[in-house]
Structure 1
Amino acid sequence: MVPAALPAAAQPASARPGVTAPAAVSPSVPALNPYFEQQLAWGPCAEFARTATDREAYANPRYDCAYLDVPLDYGDPDLATARIAMLRQKALDPAARIGSLFVDPGGPGGSGVSFLPALAGLIGDGEVAQKFDLIGFDPRGVGVSEPAIDCSTTEEVDAERADLDLDTSPEGVAQTEQEFQEFADRCAERVGIDVLANVGTRDVARDLHLAHEVVGDDLLTYVGYSYGTSIGAEFARQFPEEVRALVLDGAVDPSLGPVESRTTQARGFQRAFDNFAAYCAAQPECPLGTDAAAASARVQELLTPLIDAPVPTSDATRTLGYADAITGLIQALYAESLWPPLLDGLAKVARGDGTTLLILADIYYDRAPDGSYGNLLEAFPAISCMDGDRLTDRAVAREINDTNLALAPFLDAGFGSSDVLELCSFWPVPPTSEAGPVDAPGLPTVLVASSTGDPATPYEDGVSLAGQLAARLLTVENDSHTVVLQGANACADAATTRYLVDLALPAADLTCAREAAQGR
């Protein structure tokens, strides 16, 4: 993991669709005709399941699944074919059906196939479910799409989780960068250069263009969360006149410069931690004490002993070390509903028990009960590295480290800053997009939602993206990462539903007041 203020895997905002990517691919390209003319073979979802939870969810007769064929390389559509996994809940009222609603949960590397049943459960049987086929998809390389980005064995992932990479000396930096080089080489060998070169957001947007045509929709209706907003923004850039409705929640700001794009989350997560610390201080027994202002130092006092002495967990074969403790902490800050488990986890660490924080870290890393992992850990860098600039200037690297440590002291383990480069600096293929504001002439007015206390994609990023797209901004007073259509805020859900169903946007930018978080 990168020895910066935030764990490398805690930076989903690194993917930034750009303004200099090649021109949009048109269905008029003759070699693409077979892809646009394909008939999807919808059927049972059993073969799409990776875990027991998936198998149970996918057995619901409401769901069916299919693979969508896409060109691996849109520049040479005849070269090879990739397959995009899709899971669908058909409109509950076929007579009132408007079309399909495509959904992406973020990441990059999050599985839309796995996410859709959970989201459908939150949406329930209301208007959105009545009038739209809900479709979750695994972007190219992700989840059960084929070919998958699979760079590491289970044992290698476990080893990476245990690797602290806290040494900021020249020797420590060299060791970390050697590990980055080895991972990049492993991905090139096991996945293939041709696959890695075509997994960026530029090509995911092209797949979504093909998908909405194949399912029979002339225009795209889409909800993207977190990194999913990058997919939506890139689709808008390439195909602005093919948009029916876009809801972009937890927005990534594509206009940020090289330092700002890598430090924006530090501010967001510190704000989320400070809010948690205030909540904790008001509880009868807060392991961080009653002085919320001192909580950043206190949490490091509690967790840094795990560097040398991991604590046991309820699983006799596993312990909680510092890296997993920090990852569990980060995971819990994504949602206000996870504050009580975080409080419990920190209190247990103080008593020598790492069980709860390890569970939270396992959720973050998409670890199944049998010890296997999804491919989020590999897909995250593979996609991110195709979507932005490459850090090669060590002075800039040190500036980024210095800024992150200053903005997020709750993650400062006391080892100081370094000039370590990033994994993407060693990536074997060049990026396919560049950072820059989104220019989408002809785009209808769309909806950008941003939560005031979002840790991973701070509120200000949503304000910026709304400005770039000339979108309507939905501000939600909320301390979680993403909010719409999740039953967390009735005002936000109502505004989103009216837009998706009727294309009726609020007359002006709208603010939804805070509602009580579930689990508090």
Structure 2
Amino acid sequence: MPLAACTSTPADQPRQATEQLGPKGAVPAGLDRFYGQPLTWGDCAPYATSDGAKSAFAVKTLQCARLTVPLDYAKPAGDTITIGVLRRKATGQDNRIGSLVMNPGGPGASGMEAAANLAQGAAQGELGKRFDFVGFDPRGIGASEPQVRCLTDAERDEDRAEDLESDGSPAGVAKQETEAKDFAGKCAQRTAHGDAMLANVGTRDVVKDMDVLRSALGDEKLSYLGYSYGTRIGSTYAEAFPKNVRAMVLDGALDPDQDSVESLVAQGQGFGKAFGQYAAWCAARQDCALGANPAGATKAFQDLVRPLVRIPVTLADGRKLTFGDATLAAIQALYSQQLWEPLNSGLNELKLGKGATLMALADQYNERDRSGRYATTQDAFTAIRCVDDPRVTDKNKILDAAKRYDEAAPFLDDGGPEGAPLDSCAFWPVPSTSRPHEPAVAGLPPVLVVSTTNDPATPYQAGVNLAKAMKGSLLTYEGTQHTAFLQGIGCVDSAGTAYLVDGTVPPEGTRCPG
């Protein structure tokens, strides 16, 4: 029987409320205690693991809890781990539909932080009235315990300063492979539960956690919003639990049938296309760092950043802006048109031998705060990628992909010889647990896929392919940014809201102008 109780807390602390709303729906064998567990909701401040999370979690309408799940679902009586969960309750409880569970992608990004930020903007809208906004940090990430940990802050700073990826010579490739093998070893050594945690950190296991969460939240069916890699979580969940899905919005899709090599090349094409859009925008400005002719923007960019391969710019704090960080700054800026202005400013500064603005953009990508602390996002990104996709050890395939990437996004080409170093996944201590494929989703209700025409990170065609594979509806946004839903685009927000609330999918071929 569902229960709700309050526990005694000091007067200056928010009251804790324990709810048992599960189990709901079918419970896999041996998992009864997880599906029926109570959740104790309280203040979110103790869950913050970054400056961004501290700010986002300070809102008093948010509640946080820990969900307990098996470390290894094949051994449900064995070790357990916990998942950080955040919610903002629906403002219209009388018409509440249920929970809207979300994930922002990465892999490695915090779903708790994303939900906290999105919930505030949507609080007074239809979604905020009808749904509890719920975000969770997938296993190994953010507030979930244990975290995947590989490099210290100092080691990551040192890695960026060395910029080994810009050296394609045989000696450079050998050094990159030594570093990659060392990274894999440190992940196993520094992550609690070691190999066992790394073996069970992939999407295969995240979706099982999400089904436990659905039940513990008291929902018979899951309503889900996934961005970027979060679409991989969505499609994998839909395949594993098709009858447990109520509604699913997948925005900025990963192609489910594309391996890691082809995905990288497609992403290069996306960044190349977005850079062309940026160059056209910049050329119309009097202060454009790349000149007035968009056709010359790639060479102008190369002329600015390629000298950094040999001579980085030393900043006031002693850090060095390398070619790798300068190009990473450009990649970060291409995710959103709101960052095009600082990118142009940073490139103009670089002409004067200054690099603070570009470094700030690169730090934003790497989630490094002003005190020098890094979020563990990049560690988790690698760990998940290494078990989600089969390892690639064919150097001819790696070299071919590198060449095709540079051809697709020539502004990122360092001008040096191409190398074919094995990455950390080639040395990963545990095997992969899944592989790209079209999901088998018989019995799945209609899903909504949102795809942006000039998305730099997850190209438009990937969304087309995912919608087709899942027999879902495709909503096209004509713009240059990464993902679109709940970002103030009226046409997209209206269509997505109508679908989540009452299941209405937009007419076939619907396009939202930018």
Check whether TM > 0.5.
yes
Partner residue, 1:290 = 292
Deviation at 1:122? 3.1
2:130 aligned partner: 131
Q: CA deviation at 1:65?
A: 0.1
Question: What displacement does 1:326 show?
Answer: 1.1
Aligned partner of residue 236 in structure 2, secondary structure:
helix
Q: Is the 8 A contact 2:161 2:319 kept in 1?
A: no
CA-to-partner distance for each residue in 1:210-230, whole Å, 9 max, x for gaps?
Answer: 101110000000000000000
Report Cα offsets for 1:70-128 as digits up to 9, x if no partner: 10100111111010001110101111111000010100000111222221233241010
Counterpart amino acid of 1:28? P
Cα pair 2:268 2:408 within 8 Å, conserved: yes
Residues 267-287 of structure 1 deviation map (CA, whole Å, 9 limit, x = unaligned): 000000111011111100211
Aligned 8 A contact 2:50 2:375 in 1 = no
Determine helix, strand or coil for the equivalent of 2:388.
Answer: coil
Q: What is the rounded CA distance, in whole Å, between the counterparts of 1:356 and 1:258 in structure 2? A: 31
Structure 1 position 312, deviation (Å) = 4.1
3-state SS, counterpart of residue 385 of structure 1: helix
1:319 Cα offset (Å): 3.4
Alpha-carbon distance, 1:54 to partner = 2.7
**The 10-residue stretch of structure 1 (58-67 or 251-260) with the greater mean CA deviation from structure 2:** 251-260
Deviations 1:26-67 (A, max 9, x none): 72312x111011100010111111234433332211101000
Cα distance in 1 for partners of 2:422, 2:54 equals 41
* Cα offsets for 1:195-214 (capped at 9, x unmatched): 00000001001111110111
Q: Which residue of 2 aligns with 1:68?
A: 67
Match of residue 9 from structure 1: none
Contact 1:69 1:81 in 2 (8 A): yes
* CA displacement, residues 422-449 of structure 1 (integer Å, 9 cap, x when unaligned): 2211111000001111211111110000
Contact 1:163-1:323 at 8 Å conserved across structures: no
- Preserved CA contact (<8 Å) 1:236 1:440: yes
Superposed CA deviations along residues 352-397 of structure 1, whole A, max 9, x for unmatched, are 2211111111110111222111100100000011111211111111
Partner in structure 2 of residue 271 of structure 1: 273
Residue 8 (structure 1) aligns with: none
1:461-482 per-position Cα deviation (integer Å, ceiling 9, x unaligned): 0000000001100000010000
Superimposed CA distance per residue, residues 264-305 of structure 1 (whole angstroms, 9 cap, x where no aligned partner) = 101000000111011111100211111211211211110122
Helix, strand or coil at the partner of 2:41: coil
1:332 alignment counterpart: 333
How many residues are matched? 487
1:474 lines up with 2:475 in the alignment: yes
**Structure 1 residues 257 and 309, CA gap change in structure 2 (3 angstroms):** closer
Distance in 2 of aligned mates of 1:445 and 1:422: 38
Q: After TM superposition, list the pairs within 5 Å mapping 1:447-486 onto structure 2.
A: 447-486=448-487
Find the counterpart in structure 2 of residue 200 from structure 1: 202
Task: Give the secondary-structure state (helix, strand or coil) at the position aligned to 2:494.
Answer: helix
SS of residue in 2 equivalent to 1:482: coil
CA contact (8 A) 2:91 2:123 kept: no
Indicate the residue corresponding to 2:48 in structure 1: 49
Amino acid at match of 1:475: T
1:221 aligned residue (207, 220, 223): 223
Give the letter for the 2:133 counterpart.
Answer: L
| TM-score, normalised relative to structure 2 | 0.93
Whether 1:437 aligns to 2:462 is: no
**Residue matched to 1:19:** none
**Could you tell which deviates more after superposition, 427-436 or 119-128?**
119-128
C-alpha separation in 1, matches of 2:175 and 2:322: 20
Query: Partners of 1:258 and 1:203 in 2: how far apart?
Result: 19
Specify the SS of the correspondent of 1:283: coil
Aligned to 1:410: 411
Residues 347 and 218 (structure 1 numbering): CA distance in 2 closer, same or farther, change over 3 Å? same
Is the contact made by 2:160 and 2:322 (CA closer than 8 Å) also made in structure 1? no
Superposition map of 1:16-95 within 5 A: 27-30=27-30, 32-95=31-94
Counterpart residue identity of residue 405, structure 1 = D
Secondary structure of 2:271 counterpart: helix
2:246 aligned partner: 244
CA contact (8 A) 1:123 1:486 kept: no
Give 1:306 shift: 1.9
Q: Could you tell me which runs of 5 or more consecutive residues in structure 2 were left unpaired when the two chains were aligned.
A: 1-24
Give the whole-Å Cα distance in 1 for the aligned partners of 2:452 and 2:297. 24
Contact 1:391–1:425 (8 Å) recurs in 2: yes
Aligned partners of 1:109 and 1:304: how far apart in 2? 30
Who is 1:302 aligned against?
A: 304
Query: Identity rate of aligned residues, in percent?
Result: 45
* Matched residue SS, 2:86: strand
Equivalent residue, structure 2, for 1:376: 377
Equivalent position SS for 2:101 = strand
- Residue 257 of structure 1: CA displacement? 4.4
Q: Quote the RMSD (CA, aligned, Å).
A: 1.4
Judged with a 3 Å threshold, the aligned counterparts in structure 2 of structure 1 residues 495 and 76 are, in CA distance, closer, same or farther, namely: same
- How far does the alpha carbon of each residue in 1:137-190 deviate from its partner, in whole angstroms, 9 at most, with x for none? 100000110111011111111111222122212221111011000000111111
Q: Secondary structure at the match of 1:88?
A: strand
Q: Do 1:154 and 1:373's aligned partners in 2 also have CA atoms closer than 8 Å? A: yes
Instruction: Kindly report which structure 2 residues correspond to 1:388-399, keeping only aligned pairs within 5 A, or say none.
Output: 388-399=389-400
The residue correspondences of 1:161-176 to structure 2 (distance < 5 A) are 161-165=160-164, 166-176=166-176
Match of 1:280 in 2: 282
Over 3 Å counting, the alpha-carbon distance change for 1:26 and 1:182 in structure 2 is farther
Secondary structure of the equivalent of 1:397? helix
Contact 2:168–2:418 (CA under 8 A) maintained in structure 1: yes
Gaps spanning 5+ residues in structure 1: where? 1-24, 515-520
Contact 2:90 2:130 in 1 (8 A): yes
Given that 2:253 and 2:463 are in contact with CA atoms closer than 8 Å, whether structure 1 keeps it comes out as yes
Shift of 1:310: 2.4
Q: What is the rounded CA distance, in whole Å, between the counterparts of 2:223 and 2:351 in structure 1?
A: 48
In 2: Cα distance, 1:254 partner to 1:498 partner: 26
Supply the distance in 1 between the matched residues of 2:242 and 2:431 (Cα, whole angstroms): 26
CA contact (8 A) 2:130 2:501 kept: yes
SS at 2:247's partner residue? strand
Q: Secondary structure at the match of 1:420?
A: coil
For the 8 Å contact 1:405–1:417, the answer to whether it is kept is no
Give the conservation status (yes or no) of the 8 Å contact 1:188–1:196: yes
* More RCO (CA 8 Å, sep 6+): 1
Q: Is the 8 A contact 2:169 2:417 kept in 1?
A: no
User: In structure 1, what is the Cα distance between the partners aligned to 2:174 and 2:412?
Assistant: 22
Write the distance in 2 (CA, Å) between the matches of 1:481 and 1:61.
30
Contact 1:122/1:486 (8 A) holds in 2: no
- The code of the aligned residue for 2:215 comes to E
The secondary structure found in structure 2 opposite 1:41 is strand
